[in-house]
Structure 1
């Protein structure tokens, strides 16, 4: 006997909650926007990007390498398909950001209020959150 009144929604088994999907896209867009701006800034050697890398002893050409990999990583995360490539991109961004933070700590270049350490760790946390929230279609 069917006791439904017609107002109930049928939920499919394995359906993804809309809140989780929305959270994934919000976090991922913030991550993509932030890392893309950072990568473009490094490629253009814009603003403080030159000072950030030279102050901790890295050669200036590292900005071209980092900027290129950041942009390629974001493209890999955003495009549909290629789940293994997405795994590599997420791990690359995580290692890049935690490495940047540690590099600034070891060079005693904390920035104002620890900005040079905290911001990369925030980006690493965004990468972990995006990875954890990603839909099944973007997983291995």
Structure 2
């Protein structure tokens, strides 16, 4: 894959993921009756929507913000946990397949975003740090 296609793929996946999480987070924070019904249906207390909403919005911001590769890794992990937990919760509640598959499709989009991210948004590998230390290069800030 050439660099231009990789960049377009990264930003398409990341933009879609960030939008989905920002919108979902704002929805969770709104306290709308549908959100609270959904939480109750899944067996979660109403305040859980507020917790999820805050973390979703912060995750979306972390994905889009420049630098902070370690924070981005944590955001991707949180997104993975949130989405796989949502799929499992919907499955356990007996919801239709669409409600189980939708978060899994978003997991695939998150995986594409993570896999296509540019070097500037990745943590430096341990072997690269070790090699740089051997030749006296300053370590990259992580």
TM-score normalised according to structure 2 size: 0.81
Determine helix, strand or coil for the equivalent of 2:42. Answer: coil
Aligned residue number for residue 91 of structure 1: 77
Determine helix, strand or coil for the equivalent of 1:55. Answer: helix
Q: Rg: which structure is higher?
A: 1
Structure 1: which 5+ runs fail to align?
A: 1-15
Q: CA deviation at 1:85?
A: 0.6
Alignment RMSD (CA, Å): 1.2
Matched residue count: 122
Structure 2: which 5+ runs fail to align?
A: 124-142
Q: CA deviation at 1:122?
A: 1.4
After superposing on structure 2, the runs of 4+ consecutive aligned residues of structure 1 that deviate more than 3 Å are none
What whole-Å deviation, never above 9, does each CA across 1:48-76 have from its counterpart, x for those lacking one?
Answer: 32222110110010000000000001111
Contact 1:41 1:47 in 2 (8 A): no
TM-score normalised according to structure 1 size: 0.82
Structure 2 residue corresponding to 1:129, chosen from 102, 108, 112: 112
CA distance in structure 2 between the aligned counterparts of 1:130 and 1:62, rounded to whole angstroms: 27
Cα 1:28/1:47, change in 2 over 3 Å: farther
Q: CA deviation at 1:109?
A: 2.4
CA distance in structure 2 between the aligned counterparts of 1:41 and 1:93, rounded to whole angstroms: 16
